[in-house]
Amino acid sequence: MKNKKYLFFLLIGLFLFSAFRSDMPAYKLYNQKGKLTNFSKLVKEAAKADVIFFGELHNNPIAHWLQLELTKALHEIHQEKLVLGAEMIETDNQEALELYLSNSIEHDSLKNIARLWGNYKTDYKPLVDFAKNNQLKFIGTNVPRRYASMVFRGGFEALDTLPETDKRWIAPLPIAYDPTLPAYQEMVEMMGGMKNHSSENFPKAQAIKDATMAWQIAEHWNQGTYFVHYNGSFHSDDYEGIVWYLKRLKPEATILTITTIETSELNRRLDEDQRFVADFTLAVPETMTKTY
Is residue 93 pLDDT above 80, yes or no?
yes
> Residue 124 pLDDT > 50, yes or no?
yes
pLDDT tens-digit readout, 235-255:
999 999 999 999 999 999 999
In the chain, where the domains are located: 27-285
21-79, pLDDT tens digit by residue? 557 889 999 999 999 999 999 999 999 999 999 999 999 999 999 999 999 999 999 99
Calculate mean pLDDT across residues 157-180.
97
Q: Average pLDDT in the 75-88 region?
A: 98
pLDDT score of 19 more than 60 = no
203 pLDDT higher than 80: yes
Domain spanning 27-285: which CATH class is it, in words?
Answer: alpha beta
CB neighbour list of residue 183: distance below 8 Å, 6 or more residues apart: 203, 206, 234, 237, 238, 240, 241
pTM of structure? 0.90
